[in-house]
Amino acid sequence: MTSLSRTTSPLARTLGALVLTAVAGLTVAGCSTTASGAPAPSTTATSAPSKGKAKPLPAGESRVAGTVASASDTQVVVTKKDGSTETLTTDSTTKIEGGPLQQGQRVTAVVKGQQALTVRVAQPHASSAAPTTTPSS
């Protein structure tokens, strides 16, 4: 009978260590629970679009953004960022969101041709500076 030797070659030890490392890595990578046993949060982006992303518009519609140069019952003139102006037609079907249109307001309009379908008035940003007080004497 031959006796089994307990010695292993360095190559066998290295391969064994690599296999154990790979198995440990796969086990950790496949683990999707937290220490409490609850599922770990997913890192894939499946949440709703961020606030800065606009939804795609139907064919034939576009957005016009800028500052109201003038507004009336039948049209609004918007000065765009590049300095050009766009005259949009408004009527009873135009949806105005955020209050009545006034000169100087920032707006974003969804238009089809020159007809404004919706006009959204941008709300002014709240000041983050704390009000200052002057000590009375």
Q: List, run by run, the mean pLDDT of 10-residue segments along the chain (137 residues).
A: 57 68 58 51 45 80 95 95 96 93 95 94 71 59
Would residue 134 count as lying in a domain?
no
Q: Which domain, by its residues, includes 75?
A: 61-121
> How confident is the model at residue 45, as a pLDDT?
42
CATH number of 74's domain:
2.40.50.320
Domain presence at residue 110: yes
Is the full-model pTM beyond 0.75? no
User: What is the number of structural domains in the chain?
Assistant: 1
From CA 24, how far away is CA 18, in angstroms rounded?
10
Q: What is the pLDDT of residue 42?
A: 47
The pLDDT of residue 22 is: 63
Has residue 40 been placed in a domain? no
Domain assignment present for residue 83? The answer is yes
Specify if 37 maps to a domain: no
Kindly state whether residue 35 falls inside one of the protein's structural domains. no
Amino acid present at 123: Q
What radius of gyration do the chain's Cα atoms show? 32
- Residue 28 belongs to a domain: no
Q: For position 124, what pLDDT does the model report?
A: 76
pLDDT of residue 26: 55
SS3 65: strand
Asked whether the beta carbons of 104 and 67 are under 8 A apart, the reply is: yes
